[in-house]
Amino acid sequence: MRQKILLAIAPAILLLLPLLISAQDAVDTVMMQKIKDEETINSKVISIAHNLTDVCGPRLTNSPGYKKAVAWAVDQLKGWGLAAAPEAWGEFGKGWSTEQVYAAMQQPYYQPLIAYPKAWSGGTNGPLTAKICMIDRLDSTSIDAQAANIKGKIVMVKSTTTALRSAFVAYGKRYAESELNKLPDTYMLSRGLLEYFVKFQTKEYLAQKYLQSKGAAALLSMTSTERDGTLIVDGTPGYAKGYDNPLAQLEVSTEDYMRLQRLLLDKKDVELGLNVQNKWYTDDLQGYNVTGEIAGTDPLLKNQVVMVGGHLDSWHSGTGATDNAAGCIVMMEAMRILKALGVQPRRTIRIGLWGGEEQGLVGSFGYVKKHFGNPANMQLLPEQKNISAYFNLDNGSGKIRGIYLQKNKAAGPIFKSWLNAIADTSATGITESNTGSTDHLSFDAVGIPAFQFIQDPLEYETRTHHSNMDTYDHLQIEDLKQAAAVVACFIYNAAMRDEMIPRKPLPKATRFLFDTDGPL
């Protein structure tokens, strides 16, 4: 009976066999192993990480550190044999760097403070010693209520925070395998929320200008982290046209800020010594990305492109190690691996290291508008149809555990076959969910298949993201090596397969989410 059934269904199996095969990409498993071996034996992850963080330092867009990183990345890519160059994407605005910071409590006793200037804020015009004046809120009503006390004072806004984060709650974690395919939409912002933020930012800027007009010497603010000695330090809109050099502003650690506040509430005179010296750069207002590529070799496919990228810029209180030197390290190392193995890709493989991500994805969006089209009108440029896929990395230095499909269901079986062939048991997740707030959104907005990898969270959101702890020592080097091998396998397969990556239906013409009326 069993034999008769098999004979009966054999013709159907033969008819279905081509469909079953086509559903799974044919993957060169020998090359997958070569890629992993190259990363294991000859990894340059440590060298790339050291140079981008320790050597180049903070990489605030258009700062000396950022421009140093651009030059270094171009030279390194060229040294590996890629064609590489900096590429201007449009006007960004003023550069800025901190030259000197001193902040200490002088009365009722001496003690240094953990404090960092906000990016694109003003300085103190030399050393100063002044008392603190506390206001209820950063608005004109609260400022006017203390107007007689503000001139010549250092101003701080009363905080409602009264306790630190519990030390019994772990900072870092890894995903359980059972979570990977069920991850929900992550980091997704709405236009309404962004417009609210821009209005809030503008209102805060105007309040700071008003405070300055009342003679305030400086403004202190408290990081919102409630973490031990860790500060989240971002910036003002002072890089953009129409925004003057604002008041000197310092972000102060939770512990120090709460102590100052308690002393003031106890009617004690509190006096600080400050010396904040910043430098502005206006000689070149253009914004720059870095691009490099390995040329395709197939006569029919070489004009098609597989792209990878991450953002090169960072905030300035650390050295931008996990946000996002990590993504750049992985993508550069993946390109190095393929070049070291002498890969002759059918499609061109291109890397993009983006500027101005922290100010609203402006570097990658500028590149997309220049090469592919503007989502506001969806008048697409010829290059748009030749991009097979864009792969992004920007969520810290954790292992790659899989990939977000961005609702591109048709790509799921393809990526699944690649992950199976890579045979890395930690990288198995495929979720149809979206993830946002980083550079793949610029590509997705004009109909290019664009994806972000799933990474282990580690301590990214809880400790290093935008903080003074975002330094080399918080990188997980072995995780970065694993990620580089996975990315190299992905882009090799995308470059070598017969077909481009499937596309979702073209989005309707609409203004890009991060294209706002004012800086972010």
82 with 29, same domain?
Answer: yes
Has residue 173 been placed in a domain? yes
- Over residues 163-195, the pLDDT tens digits come to 888 888 899 999 999 999 999 999 999 999 999
- What share of the chain has pLDDT > 70, as a percent? 95
317 with 354, same domain?
Answer: yes
Gap between the Cα atoms of 425 and 440, Å rounded: 26
* pLDDT at residue number 104: 98
Has residue 508 been placed in a domain? no
pLDDT at 10 over 60: no
360 with 253, same domain?
Answer: no
CATH number, domain with residue 133: 3.50.30.30
105 with 70, same domain?
Answer: no
* pLDDT at residue number 1: 41
Has residue 187 been placed in a domain? no
E strand intervals along 323-474: 348-354, 373-374, 379-380, 387-392, 400-404, 429-431, 450-455
Has residue 258 been placed in a domain? yes
* pLDDT at residue number 346: 98
Domain housing 58? 24-92+285-496
Gap between the Cα atoms of 64 and 42, Å rounded: 31
28 with 54, same domain?
Answer: yes
- Tell me what the mean pLDDT of segment 367-384 comes to: 98
- Over residues 98-110, the pLDDT tens digits come to 999 999 999 999 9
| Range from 24-38, 55-69, 225-239, 482-496 carrying the lowest mean pLDDT | 225-239
Q: How many domains does the chain have?
A: 2
Q: What angle do CA 437, 442, 444 make, to 5 degrees?
A: 100
What are the helix (H) ranges across 104-184? 140-145, 147-150, 177-180
Q: Is the bond leading into 108 cis (omega within 30 degrees of zero)?
A: yes
Domain end, chosen from 255, 279, 303, is at 279
First to last CA, the chain: 71
66 with 81, same domain?
Answer: yes
- Tell me what the mean pLDDT of segment 461-485 comes to: 97
* pLDDT at residue number 245: 77
Domain end, chosen from 261, 279, 297, is at 279
φ and ψ at residue 71, rounded to 5 degrees: -65, -40
* pLDDT at residue number 72: 99
Has residue 15 been placed in a domain? no
115 neighbors 251 (Cβ within 8 angstroms): yes
Has residue 457 been placed in a domain? yes
Q: What angle do CA 266, 269, 274 make, to 5 degrees?
A: 125
- Over residues 305-356, the pLDDT tens digits come to 999 999 999 999 999 999 999 999 999 999 999 999 999 999 999 999 999 9
Domain end, chosen from 220, 250, 279, is at 279
291 with 154, same domain?
Answer: no
* pLDDT at residue number 225: 64
* pLDDT at residue number 164: 85
214 with 325, same domain?
Answer: no
- Over residues 392-434, the pLDDT tens digits come to 999 999 999 999 999 999 999 999 999 999 999 999 999 999 9
Q: What angle do CA 154, 160, 162 make, to 5 degrees?
A: 105
- Tell me what the mean pLDDT of segment 266-276 comes to: 97
59 neighbors 243 (Cβ within 8 angstroms): no
The pLDDT-based confidence of 24 (bands split at 50, 70, 90) is low
CATH number, domain with residue 31: 3.40.630.10
CA neighbor of 317 nearest in space, from 485, 197, 467 = 467
E strand intervals along 47-164: 83-91, 95-107, 111-112, 115-117, 128-135, 154-157
- Tell me what the mean pLDDT of segment 132-152 comes to: 95
pLDDT at 64 over 80: yes
* pLDDT at residue number 18: 37
Average pLDDT of every residue of the chain: 94
380 with 293, same domain?
Answer: yes
263 with 372, same domain?
Answer: no
* pLDDT at residue number 229: 86
Has residue 504 been placed in a domain? no
Has residue 195 been placed in a domain? no
102 with 87, same domain?
Answer: no
- What share of the chain has pLDDT > 90, as a percent? 90
308 with 385, same domain?
Answer: yes
pLDDT at 142 over 50: yes
116 neighbors 233 (Cβ within 8 angstroms): yes
C-alpha radius of gyration, the chain, whole number? 26
